């Protein structure tokens, strides 16, 4: 009788953080965290909204791992949520995948900046991520997701594995935008990436998108030609893309996000 393969321990992490307005200021209202997901609260700069920094204590994720994040801003609040560093998705040992589910809720009169740093997808990794944003009328959301295909610093390319990255935006419960990126098989050139190994998607949701769209277009004119860019508006959702080499995309993304939000990014982006 053949010995069965040992079952490998897999992570099942979760974090929930919500903010509410009390005594005229935004305060933490609820916090839940389960390893390997943790949330830190650094002191923001004077006059800036509260910050929450999400991290995974395992140092990365691999096939079979699951992480669920919930972020909620109550009426008339303002908050910034980011990640401590780039998230690493390691090579899969089999056909299972990493599952990442992110739910974002923005109430009327609230503003949330959801600004995670890059997700680095190692060659052979398998990951499915879904981000669902519910933004009430009168609420504002600025969100980004940046994906690096392979370990750029070592010259690795993402040539096999699975990346399925899905977005859904709802406005007061009505779905107004959905988008999906799937890479599998011979990648990434066949998917239109060419020599690029990084893609950043930035979305903005607000009541008056046209001025924000024009502002984003103006900011993108300063991006070097080595990074391909584009921005459009669909059903009041502003969608910007930056495609290129990983280092160049990050160098372009930082001033773009800073310019769009009108202030510099959280300190963890610069450490």
pLDDT digits (tens, 9 = 90+) for 195-240: 899 999 999 999 999 999 999 999 999 999 999 999 999 998 999 9
Query: Is residue 212 domain-resident?
Result: yes
Query: Is residue 202 domain-resident?
Result: yes
Q: Model confidence over 133-166: pLDDT tens digits?
A: 999 999 999 999 999 998 877 778 888 899 999 9
Q: What is the pLDDT of residue 178?
A: 96
Query: Is residue 116 domain-resident?
Result: yes
Give phi and psi for 49, each to the nearest 5.
-70, 165
pTM of the model as a whole: 0.93
Q: What is the pLDDT of residue 3?
A: 47
Q: What is the pLDDT of residue 152?
A: 74
Digitized pLDDT (tens) for each residue of the chain, 271 residues in all: 444 444 566 889 999 999 999 999 999 999 999 999 999 999 998 889 999 999 999 889 998 999 999 999 999 999 999 999 999 999 998 878 999 999 999 999 999 999 999 999 999 999 999 999 999 999 999 999 999 998 877 778 888 899 999 999 999 899 999 999 998 865 545 456 888 999 999 999 999 999 999 999 999 999 999 999 999 999 989 999 999 999 999 999 999 999 999 999 999 998 7
Q: Are 133 and 169 in contact (CB under 8 A)?
A: yes
Alpha-carbon distance of 191 to 205, in angstroms, equals: 27
Query: Is residue 241 domain-resident?
Result: yes
Q: What is the pLDDT of residue 128?
A: 97
Query: Is residue 11 domain-resident?
Result: no
Inter-CA distances, 190 with 15, 36, 72, 125, 185, Å? 36, 35, 38, 18, 9
Query: Is residue 7 domain-resident?
Result: no
- Number of domains within the chain: 1
Query: Is residue 10 domain-resident?
Result: no
Q: What is the pLDDT of residue 226?
A: 96
Give the structural domain span for 219.
30-270
Query: Is residue 15 domain-resident?
Result: no
């Amino acid at each position: 009788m053949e010995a069965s393969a040992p079952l490998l321990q897999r992570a099942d992490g979760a974090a929930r953080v919500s903010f509410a307005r009390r005594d005229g200021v935004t305060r933490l209202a609820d916090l839940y965290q389960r390893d390997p997901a943790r949330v830190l609260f650094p002191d923001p700069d004077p006059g800036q909204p509260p910050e929450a920094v999400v991290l995974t204590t395992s140092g990365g994720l691999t096939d079979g791992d699951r992480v669920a994040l919930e972020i909620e801003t109550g009426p008339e609040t303002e908050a910034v949520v980011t990640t401590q560093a780039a998230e690493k998705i390691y090579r899969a040992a089999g056909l299972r995948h990493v599952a990442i589910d992110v739910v974002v809720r923005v109430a009327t009169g609230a503003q949330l900046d959801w600004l995670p740093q890059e997700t680095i997808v190692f060659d052979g990794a398998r990951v499915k991520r879904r981000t669902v944003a519910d933004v009430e009328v009168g609420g504002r959301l600025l969100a980004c997701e940046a994906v690096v295909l392979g370990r750029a610093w070592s010259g690795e390319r993402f040539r096999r594995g699975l990346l399925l990255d899905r977005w859904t935006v709802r406005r007061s419960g009505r779905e107004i935008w959905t988008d999906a990126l799937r890479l599998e098989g011979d990648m990434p050139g066949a998917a239109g990436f060419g020599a690029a190994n990084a893609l950043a998607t930035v979305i903005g949701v607000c009541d008056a998108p046209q001025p924000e769209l024009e502002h984003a277009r103006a900011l993108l004119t300063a991006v070097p030609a080595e990074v391909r860019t584009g921005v459009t508006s669909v059903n009041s959702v502003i969608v910007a893309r930056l495609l290129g080499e990983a280092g160049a995309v990050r160098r372009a993304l930082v001033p773009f996000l800073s310019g769009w939000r009108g202030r510099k990014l959280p300190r963890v982006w610069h450490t």
